[in-house]
């Protein structure tokens, strides 16, 4: 492979959202470790910058797909596309999100809230939204429930914000309550919470909402704050830069894919609900979640809600169709998963911080709950 000194790389990625910024962080991290690269970064429209790009002598490009993207592709250098408008562009390497696991994870979260009515609100014309929807619907169906999908009959290009709010309001009012709604991203989730306020629906008591991306600003601007599926986008940016490096050294472009995985659910107020009537069990679950960083025994949960252990077990299973121990293990393994994805702590350090006696025990519990070892989980979901 031919070596290029200080490769020139064009970055046509938006910085207005957390997804684009995280991609850029991963790309620049790779450059610091394996470069340096010289960057031309342009988060705005292509029309104004195309003449400059063509004369810059770039060696590679990482870009968000665009209706004007063909002009960039014609520059004849390696290109990796972060897909948004299309599923992929023939022959080009691409970055996409794992819509299968994203949909499944959101469904499991809402099912664990005890809900029995579900909805999905996304963008029917965008492939990534459709994939998330299909897999959310499938997972909900496997649990024995149906999903009502927001499908306005009018093209989005033909209406104003007010018109879309009216259509969303009509859809929300038609849903049985309480309902759990997955939105295809955080922007859609925030939009839905605003419509709920307009029509007088309480979030999360009547409509529990979960988004995707875990964009802190968007989620916290939502009222109430929005729960969201967190994605390891920074790792995706790093892997995209790693691939571009190989392409610039001579590897052929052949639809190589970088798939950004979900890591965990960031739970905020918009899904802080258990749709069950037993208030003691609601308090028991809250106690477990609040204390998941420490070893918890079933007897401690029973004492916290002033029930006998036997009564707690019976009512817990009747309300949520799982045992108290199942809930403790689920919450504790959720903590392990977050620490594997978000920190560089070793598995033994995580075990020690969470009060496990050793790596063997935490690994056995984690594999039973997550279907893979902690090492495999970190390899797929963790920091690069």
Within a domain: residue 1?
A: no
Looking up residue 76, the CATH number of its domain turns out to be: 3.40.50.2300
Do residues 88 and 103 both lie within one domain?
no
pLDDT at 109: 95
Structure tokens at 181: 């709604």
Do residue 216 and residue 247 come from a single domain? no
Measure the CA–CA gap between 53 and 45, rounded to whole angstroms: 12
Q: Are residues 88 and 111 in the same domain?
A: no
- For tokens 């839905």, what's the residue? 192
Does 48 fall in a domain?
yes
> Which range is least confidently modeled, 186-195, 252-261, 295-304?
252-261
- What SS3 class is residue 300? helix
| Residue pLDDT, tens place only, 93-134 | 999 999 999 999 999 999 988 899 999 999 988 889 999 999
Question: What kind and span of H or E run contains 304?
Answer: helix 298-304
Q: Is residue 256 part of a domain?
A: yes
CA distances (Å), origin 155, targets 125, 127, 129, 159, 205: 9, 16, 16, 8, 31
Q: Which residues pair with 227 in a beta bridge?
A: 210
Q: Which domain holds residue 338?
A: 279-381
Q: Which of 51, 40, 36, 42 is nearest to 13 (CA)?
A: 42
pLDDT-based confidence at residue 15 (cuts at 50, 70, 90)? confident
User: What DSSP designation does 225 have?
Assistant: P
Distance, CA of 175 to CA of 28 (rounded, Å): 45
What is the predicted pLDDT for the residue at 84?
Answer: 79
More confident residue, 105 or 76: 105
CB-side exposure of 68: number of CA atoms within 13 Å?
Answer: 9
> Could you tell me what percent of the chain has a pLDDT over 90?
58
Domain presence at residue 66: yes
Query: Number of structural domains, the chain?
Result: 3
- Residue 169 sits in the same domain as residue 254: no
2 belongs to a structural domain: no
Q: Tens digit of pLDDT for each residue in 203-261? A: 998 999 999 999 999 999 999 999 999 999 999 999 999 999 999 999 998 889 999 99
> What's the CATH number where 336 sits?
1.10.10.60
Query: Per the domain annotation, does 161 fall within a domain?
Result: yes
Q: Where are the alpha helices (DSSP H) in 91-228?
A: 99-112, 127-142, 161-174, 186-199, 216-221
Within this chain, do residues 257 and 348 fall inside the same structural domain, yes or no? no
Q: Which pLDDT does position 1 carry in this prediction?
A: 47
């Amino acid at each position: 492979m031919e070596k290029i000194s200080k490769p020139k790389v064009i970055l046509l990625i938006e910085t207005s959202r957390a997804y684009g910024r995280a991609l850029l962080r991963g790309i620049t991290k790779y450059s610091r470790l394996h470069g340096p690269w010289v960057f031309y970064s342009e988060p705005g429209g292509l029309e104004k910058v195309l003449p400059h790009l063509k004369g810059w002598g770039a060696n590679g490009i990482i870009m968000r797909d665009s209706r004007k993207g063909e002009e960039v592709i014609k520059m004849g250098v390696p290109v990796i596309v972060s897909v948004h408008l299309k599923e992929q562009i023939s022959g080009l390497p691409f970055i996409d999100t794992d819509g299968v696991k994203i949909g499944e994870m959101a469904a499991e979260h809402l099912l664990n809230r005890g809900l029995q009515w579900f909805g999905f609100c996304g963008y029917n014309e965008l492939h990534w939204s459709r994939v998330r929807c299909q897999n959310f619907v499938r997972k909900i169906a496997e649990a024995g429930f149906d999903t009502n999908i927001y499908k306005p009959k009018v093209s989005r290009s033909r209406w104003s914000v007010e018109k879309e709010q009216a259509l969303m309001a009509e859809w929300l009012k038609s849903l049985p309550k309480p309902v759990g709604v997955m939105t295809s991203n955080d922007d859609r989730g925030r939009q839905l919470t605003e419509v709920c306020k307009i029509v007088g629906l309480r979030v999360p008591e009547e409509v529990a909402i979960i988004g995707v991306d875990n964009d802190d600003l968007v989620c916290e601007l939502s009222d109430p704050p929005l729960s969201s599926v967190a994605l390891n986008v920074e790792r995706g940016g790093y892997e995209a830069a790693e691939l571009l490096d190989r392409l610039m050294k001579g590897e052929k472009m052949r639809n190589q894919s970088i798939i950004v995985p979900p890591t965990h659910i960031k739970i905020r107020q918009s899904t802080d609900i258990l749709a069950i009537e037993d208030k003691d069990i609601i308090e028991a679950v809250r106690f477990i979640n609040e204390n998941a960083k420490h070893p918890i025994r079933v007897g401690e949960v029973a004492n916290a809600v002033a029930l006998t252990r036997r009564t707690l077990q019976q009512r817990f299973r009747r309300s949520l169709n799982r045992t108290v121990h199942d809930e403790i293990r689920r919450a504790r393994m959720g903590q392990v998963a977050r620490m594997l994805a978000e920190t560089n702590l070793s598995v033994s350090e995580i075990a020690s911080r969470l009060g496990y006696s050793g790596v063997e025990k935490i690994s056995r519990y984690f594999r039973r709950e997550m279907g893979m070892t902690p090492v495999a989980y970190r390899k797929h979901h963790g920091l690069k």
